[in-house]
Every structure is written in structure tokens, then in C-alpha cells.
Structure 1
Amino acid sequence: MLKNKWRILGFASMLALVLVLAACGGSDESEESTSSDNTENEETASVGDGKEIELVYVNWDSEIASTHVVGKVLEDLGYDVTLTSIDNAAMWQAVANGEADGMVAAWLPTTHGDLYEANKDSLVDLGENLSGAKTGLVVPQYMEDINSIADLANYAEELDQKITGIDAGAGVVQSAEQSIEDYGLEGWEVQTSTGGAMTTALGEAIDSEEPIVVTGWTPHWKFAEYDLKYLEDPEETFGGEEYIATMVRQGLEEDLPNAYTVLDQFNWTTADMEAVMLEISSGTDPEEAAAAWVEENQEMVTEWTAGIE
């Protein structure tokens, strides 16, 4: 009986030793894996090597989303990234005169067309980063009797001859002001504010099912949140389909070649942008929303960073 007891104790001791050795081996493997991951992260971060880069953007929901996403990608590569929100004209001038390194917020050919013409010889056009953009005047779907900008004349009293706009320097506001002239809307005005104030006014009107007309653009989260429609524009005041382009300062390719490559290869879809925009509109910090999107879309990020050294 005693002999069997010692056999059992001996077996238990051997088993414990095996488990300890296995645990030690697993720990070494884990440490080796962690070390490998850290090395890879350090190599990626060394691409930017702490060099400074500044991107400017107009404070539209769409451009907040795109600029923060690109900024996050550059930050992950080791750049010291500054994102600066300024108005339309200042954004273009900052890139053209070299005060800022670039922007991913050029709406063409109509919305920023005049700014492009004024500055194109002093900057580098890297081309389209998003297609299928659009601007125009937008109303809730429940305004069934209005389908064209020309119909606004019939809603003069209900709308108080007011179009709710965004910041005064925005191209969509300038087009809205031009539409008043093109469609003979005498006595009408575009009330400028901010993008946030415009969407707040839109939401409040929809909650009460009151009439409202706002300056609108796509991509924008409001089209996912509310049932809206663009007013037809037979005079083509707002132009046709637009695209968003990337512009950088002259000399960026020589100074920061890897950052230049990322900006040159940056390209995504309306659905991608609206996903980030919707998160931000729901209260998520732009940096957090951008970081989450980047983490979840590494395949696309890999395409943007292909070829960096």
C-alpha cells in the first residue's frame, strides 16, 4: 500500500516537471513572437523617422474623415503629423506657397475650380482620391412637391426665402448663391454658418417635419441618417459629378519621398469615407474613428504604403 503511494507521488512529480518545462518553452516562444512584432513595428515607424509633415483641410465632415485617416497612416509610419483645419482659400494657398505639405480635400472640377485655377501652377496635383462626389441643394423626401431648384419659388413663404448653408468661403455656398441668380429667386439668401450648424438645423427640421433646404454634398453621413433628395439642377449651376483630389507642395517628393508615395497612392470609396464620417457624427473622436478604420482596413492601407523604403 505504501509502495503504491510513493509510485503515485513519483508520477505526480514527473508530470509537474513536464508541465513546468512546457510552460517555459511556451514563454520563450511568446517572448520571441513579441520581440518579432516589436521589431516589425520599429522598422515601420523608422520610415518617417520623426520627420514633420502638415496636412491642411477644410472643416467639412468629409474632409475631417479623410485627412485624419491619411494622417493616422503617416503617423503609424513614424512621421510627426500635424493636421490643420482652415478655410477653403487658405487651404489652397498654404499648399501652393509651401506653408503646408499637402491636402486630400480638393473638390473638382466645380466646387474648388476657381481655387485650382488660381493655384495650380504652384502645387503638384496627385489626382483623384475619391470618385462619385456631388454637390447641390438638398431637401427632406417629405417635401414631395419640390423636385427642382426652380420649384423653390413655390416654397418662398414656408422657407422664409432662406437656404441654410455652411461656411461662407465654401464652393457649395458660392454655387448656392449663384443658383439664386440663375433661377430668378429674387429676395432669397444663403445663410452661412458651419457644417455642424447646418446638420443640426436639418435634423431639427426633420424631427418636426418642417420644410428646409440646405447646401449638400456627397459623401456625407446625413444621407445615411436621413431620407433626403437632391433638387434637380437643369441650369447646371452646381455642375455634374465631381471627384476629390490630392494636392501637395512642390518639392515634397524630394523632401519626404515615402510620405509623397502614400499621398499619391491614397484612394478610397464613398462607402469608406461615410463609415468614418458616421462614427464621428455619432460622437467618436476623429482620431479614434480614423484609427479604428485603419486597423480594420489594413489591406487597403497596404496598397497605399506599397513601395515605401
Structure 2
Amino acid sequence: MLMRTRAHRLTALLAALCALVLVAAGCGGRQAETGQEAKRITIGYIAWDEDIAVTNLFKVLLEEQGYQVTTTELEAGPVYAGLAQGNIDLFLDAWLPETHSDYWKQYSGQIEDLGVWYDQATLNIAVPNYLTDINSIADLKGRSGQFGGVITGIDPGAGLSRITKNNAIPQYQLDYTLQTSSTTAMLASLEKAINEHKPIVVTLWHPHWAYARYPIKDLQDPLGAMGQAEEIHSVGRAGFSQDFPQVTEMVKKFRLDDQTLSSLENAVNSAPKGQEAAAARKWADENPQVISAFAPGQ
């Protein structure tokens, strides 16, 4: 009985100490932006090239303002869950209202919408230009043998994958399987097919640097299965704007047009692995008028 009593006392003491540590940590991380703990920001991102580009841009700009920035690559679902749980502070690539609609319905009440920075985002199915007799998604019907019965896609958790599988394939009655893996794998397959002048059909989206690099075209979508042009939003965890008012103001002023975003994407995604942030810094130096519009003093 004595040992059980001591054990209970020890457990209670440990619990109390843990509570004090958590409270202290919470107070340190939620004070004004001048506190060292409060200067730590975690940005979650998905493996979409525009997100890689803008995440690295914000990383270098915020670090130059004294923030300690951690970037974490995840699929879209875990990013939204991380925001809702407070483990991720910021996400710069929320596609609304359609692509990320499932996540938005589940988590929007637990996160903050910080505004739109791009408003012409589209989801597409694309083929090389040399496939001159295929100009519509409908033209793919009955020709699956030419493409090995496969539409080459990106990561399975992407909204683009969901919409292609659940909307485009059944609506156009296509006898194809959506082959998912990653954006990198899809682009490698696309480049290989083009180099060999072979047929391939891929899932792709605007904005993306692939349209400038490869001879490809979007297929017309007369049924509207891929949805209309969307907006890309920046979102933060609950309380983000209160905890980081200066960063919030910067995020809300952030805007890029097609040409500027393509330039940034090309710079960052053409950089050697591990040099993406350096490429973003160089791009920022070369585009001061863009940076000064949302990050004064840079």
C-alpha cells in the first residue's frame, strides 16, 4: 500500500511538472513576435512545384527577418491535419474551392484563411503536342492501348489525383488506370516519352514550369470534369495572425502573376538538390520590385 501511495505521489508530481513545462512552452511560443520562441515558424508544403518555390521564397525572406523557419514536406491531408493540431504554422498552397475541398470541409473551422495569392489555378490532363489528333479528354476514349491503359499521375493524396480518378475517368468513360506515384516521377516519365517521341497522357496543373519546358498541351474538358479555375490561398493554424501579425501582413500582401510565378518556379526547381533556398534568394535579389510589394525592407 505504501509503495502504491508513493507511486501515486510520484505520478502526480511528474504530471504537475509536465503541466508546468507545457504552460511555459505555450507562453513562450504565443507571445509577441519579439520573443525567441515566437520567432519559430514551421511551414508545411506539398510536393507541387509552385509550393516548393514559394515556400523556399518565404523561408529565406523570414530568416532574414530573424525567424527560425522549419519546412516540412507532407501530402496534403497531413498538412491540413498538422495545421488543425497546431504542429504546422503556415501552408501556402491551399487550392480552393475544389481541389482541397475534402480537407477544407474537415479542417476549415480549425485554421485561418490568410488570403489568395494566385487566382488562375487549373487542373488538367495533358499530352505532347505531337499527338495532333488528341485535343480533348473525350479523344482518349477507346485508345487506351496506345497509352498502355495508363494516365500517369502524381501523388495519390493529391486533389488532382482524386478528381482525375473520380470525375474525369468515369465521366468520359475512359478505360484507363490512374498510375500515381509522385510529381517527380510523372515529370521523368513525361520527359522520357517526349525524348522518344512516344504517346503519354499525364495529370498536370497551372501554374507549372513544365508548360514552358516541354511541347505539351492541355486537353479540352467539355464536360467540366476537372473543374473551373481555382484560387491558391495561404492558410495558418488557429491563432496564427494573432501570434505573427507581421508575417500575416506580409502573407496577405503576397501576389504573383503567371509570368512571375513561372520565373520563380523555374529558378527554384532547376536548382541542384539542397540549393532551392539559395536559388530563391538569388531570384529575390533579381526581382526587388516583386519582393518590395509584400516584404518591405527586403
With the length of structure 2 as denominator, give the TM-score of the two structures: 0.83
- 1:8-23 alignment, distance < 5 Å: none
> Quick one: which amino acid aligns to residue 151 of structure 2?
I
Structure 1 partner of 2:260: 272
Matches of 1:278 and 1:77 in 2, distance apart? 25
Matches of 1:170 and 1:181 in 2, distance apart? 18
Contact 2:116–2:252 (8 Å) recurs in 1? no
Matches of 1:245 and 1:193 in 2, distance apart? 25
Question: What RMSD in Å do the two structures reach over aligned CA positions?
Answer: 1.8
Matches of 1:74 and 1:283 in 2, distance apart? 20
- 1:25-174 alignment, distance < 5 Å: 50=36, 51-174=39-162
Contact 1:49–1:78 (8 Å) recurs in 2? no
**Structure 1 residue 81, shift from structure 2 partner:** 0.6
Q: 2:201 aligns with which of 200, 213, 220?
A: 213
Indicate how the Cα distance of structure 1 residues 143 and 129 shifts in structure 2: closer, same or farther if over 3 A, else same. Answer: same
Matching of residue 185 in structure 1 with residue 152 in structure 2:
no
**Cα distance per residue 1:156-183 (max 9 Å; x no partner):** 1110110000100001111111211111
Matches of 1:152 and 1:52 in 2, distance apart? 49
Matching of residue 286 in structure 1 with residue 276 in structure 2:
yes
Matches of 1:122 and 1:199 in 2, distance apart? 34
Contact 1:72–1:294 (8 Å) recurs in 2? no
Contact 1:140–1:228 (8 Å) recurs in 2? yes
Structure 1 partner of 2:210: 222
> Quick one: which amino acid aligns to residue 68 of structure 2?
D
**Structure 1 residue 303, shift from structure 2 partner:** 2.2
Displaced runs of 4+ in structure 1, greater than 3 A?
47-50
Contact 1:53–1:81 (8 Å) recurs in 2? yes
Matches of 1:251 and 1:280 in 2, distance apart? 30
Structure 2 partner of 1:300: 290
- Which runs of 5 or more structure 1 residues have no equivalent in the other structure? 1-46
Matches of 2:296 and 2:263 in 1, distance apart? 24
- The DSSP-based 3-state class of the residue aligned with 1:212 is coil
Contact 2:53–2:269 (8 Å) recurs in 1? no
Contact 1:163–1:191 (8 Å) recurs in 2? yes
**Cα distance per residue 1:268-294 (max 9 Å; x no partner):** 122222212222343342111111111
Matches of 1:182 and 1:230 in 2, distance apart? 17
Matches of 2:63 and 2:72 in 1, distance apart? 15
Matching of residue 234 in structure 1 with residue 222 in structure 2:
yes
Indicate how the Cα distance of structure 1 residues 155 and 280 shifts in structure 2: closer, same or farther if over 3 A, else same. Answer: farther
Contact 1:125–1:246 (8 Å) recurs in 2? yes
> Quick one: which amino acid aligns to residue 102 of structure 1?
L
Contact 2:153–2:202 (8 Å) recurs in 1? yes
Farther-moved stretch of structure 1 (128-137 vs 160-169): 128-137
**Structure 1 residue 74, shift from structure 2 partner:** 1.0
Matches of 2:56 and 2:228 in 1, distance apart? 27
Contact 2:124–2:203 (8 Å) recurs in 1? yes
Contact 1:49–1:79 (8 Å) recurs in 2? no
Structure 1 partner of 2:18: none
> Quick one: which amino acid aligns to residue 258 of structure 1?
Q
**Structure 1 residue 233, shift from structure 2 partner:** 1.2
**Structure 1 residue 307, shift from structure 2 partner:** 10
Structure 2 partner of 1:10: none
Matching of residue 246 in structure 1 with residue 234 in structure 2:
yes
Contact 1:139–1:212 (8 Å) recurs in 2? yes
- 1:251-262 alignment, distance < 5 Å: 251-262=239-250
Structure 2 partner of 1:175: 163
Contact 1:53–1:79 (8 Å) recurs in 2? yes
Structure 1 partner of 2:10: none
Matches of 2:268 and 2:246 in 1, distance apart? 28
Indicate how the Cα distance of structure 1 residues 223 and 48 shifts in structure 2: closer, same or farther if over 3 A, else same. Answer: farther
Farther-moved stretch of structure 1 (295-304 vs 51-60): 295-304
- The DSSP-based 3-state class of the residue aligned with 1:142 is coil
Contact 2:267–2:280 (8 Å) recurs in 1? no
With the length of structure 1 as denominator, give the TM-score of the two structures: 0.80
**Structure 1 residue 305, shift from structure 2 partner:** 2.7
**Structure 1 residue 97, shift from structure 2 partner:** 2.1
